[in-house]
Structure 1
């Protein structure tokens, strides 16, 4: 528990440095626009409204794009870093950020568990997954998820998430939770609380989750995931690092006394 408190303090100790840099930087913002045909163009943001965006490109000058032509707008920070491509989740745990409509990602954990998540709207996302060893044995472990997220302010969001997992010869179990995230897509902390679903009802014991991430460099973020069982005083604490690329991430997570876990996430 002391390790958890120490890391939470570190997450927010690092955040003010980032915020100060943002506030003292130039008001000019660089964006990278991905069009529907997957071509990209970079420039300074000049004007934007609900229907169009105008940028200044070094070679082409002023260019106006209709929002209907655009698949994604990546807004670079004052250091020229691309945004975190994977802000909706940590390793296993989720944040209250949601996938945008039409966005999705594929996640592979330890080469065995595979899942796909998709944004049906800017607030509602869902996904399916399967474990490969049980699949090859003809009795697969299957996974399903739905999440509804609601932005409250620029830095505070809330979400409701439901997860279901089929177990070999054990039927199925689920988990229903509420999430509250404070911070940006680069530096945030998420508090969650939920109950298991088994035998047609909710379990009596709650699970508390405290997850966080902070971006420390162009290619690296620190992660923590923590699961607390108030009923018996037990807790599982995990700490890790995220390697960041333009459209994908790779996480290394270390649980206390366990072999490190690895996952790959590819955004599409």
Structure 2
């Protein structure tokens, strides 16, 4: 249970750090930025600040000037005008740093984090310690009852822009189990934006008994956001086993400003032939904080 205790302590640390960093709504407006304002009745307004009069503010939306009571404002945040698509505001992708299992070269910002649950049994927390370094830890429920729970640790460097819409990163996936420590060290390059991108990665497997895989694992993953709340996602692997074995996946990501849900299928020639033609269902849930 010591590994479960370590995970719990890490989670509590992340939660306390995030709580300390929560910001109050922006109420000092300027006339150059565009704001997304949420009211107590859950209505939202997008526009530029015009002026303040006593207990109201006036903003200019695309259709009219609107007067808003300051006391009714729940939150007001600056937004990037480039995020408007066909006249509608698309909030930032809440889960751009990872596909299904493998990461992109995008990184969480300092102070950002997310909780992920896969299949209802694998739980992990990732937290941005800086704009270029994320630390993650996790475990899965089944092994907790075996007396030696599996502990997952996922350090990652990312967010390094090396060209126009070209980012680089690297890290490791580490698993401590009863048989020892196993892992993959990897590097990747991501081309595109946080909404539409493709990532190429290479990784080498290793273990605590000194084994090192001489042939790399290769990954090609992609994401295409085609609606405000939906994106197509695919993650594909070439694994050095009996030569090389291909695994591929395809599915949809549904998201809001702080949550994401992936519904996908994982497949291979062997799975399609011997098990399920469309692949093994995959489901995960992510909450960003």
Q: State the secondary structure of the residue aligned to 2:263.
A: strand
Query: How many angstroms does 1:187 deviate by?
Result: 0.2
Q: Structure 1, residues 150-208: CA drift from partner, whole Å, max 9, x if none? A: 122341100011110123x3212010001100000000000000100112353112100
Native 8 Å contact 2:118 2:285 kept in 1: yes
* 1:267 maps to 2:288: yes
Q: Which has the larger radius of gyration?
A: 2
Q: Residues 137, 57 of structure 1: CA spacing in aligned structure 2 closer, same or farther, 3 A cutoff?
A: farther
Give me the whole-angstrom Cα distance separating, in 2, the residues matched to 1:172 and 1:253.
Answer: 29
Alignment of 1:188-267 (within 5 A): 188-198=197-207, 199-200=209-210, 202-229=212-239, 232-256=243-267, 257=276, 258-267=279-288
* 1:106 maps to 2:121: no
Q: State the secondary structure of the residue aligned to 1:202.
A: coil
Alignment of 1:1-268 (within 5 A): 36-37=23-24, 39=25, 46-47=32-33, 56-57=48-49, 60-61=57-58, 74-75=79-80, 76-78=83-85, 79-149=88-158, 150-167=160-177, 169-198=178-207, 199-200=209-210, 202-229=212-239, 232-256=243-267, 257=276, 258-268=279-289
Q: State the secondary structure of the residue aligned to 2:143.
A: helix
CA RMSD across the alignment? 2.7
Give me the whole-angstrom Cα distance separating, in 1, the residues matched to 2:97 and 2:280.
Answer: 25
Scaled by the length of structure 1, what TM-score is found?
Answer: 0.74
Aligned length: 219
Query: How many angstroms does 1:233 deviate by?
Result: 3.0
Scaled by the length of structure 2, what TM-score is found?
Answer: 0.69
Q: Which runs of 4 or more aligned residues in structure 1 lie more than 2 Å from their structure 2 counterparts after TM superposition?
A: 55-62, 70-79, 199-202
Query: How many angstroms does 1:224 deviate by?
Result: 0.3
Q: Residues 56, 35 of structure 1: CA spacing in aligned structure 2 closer, same or farther, 3 A cutoff?
A: farther
Q: State the secondary structure of the residue aligned to 2:144.
A: helix
Q: Residues 71, 133 of structure 1: CA spacing in aligned structure 2 closer, same or farther, 3 A cutoff?
A: farther
Give me the whole-angstrom Cα distance separating, in 1, the residues matched to 2:76 and 2:148.
Answer: 38
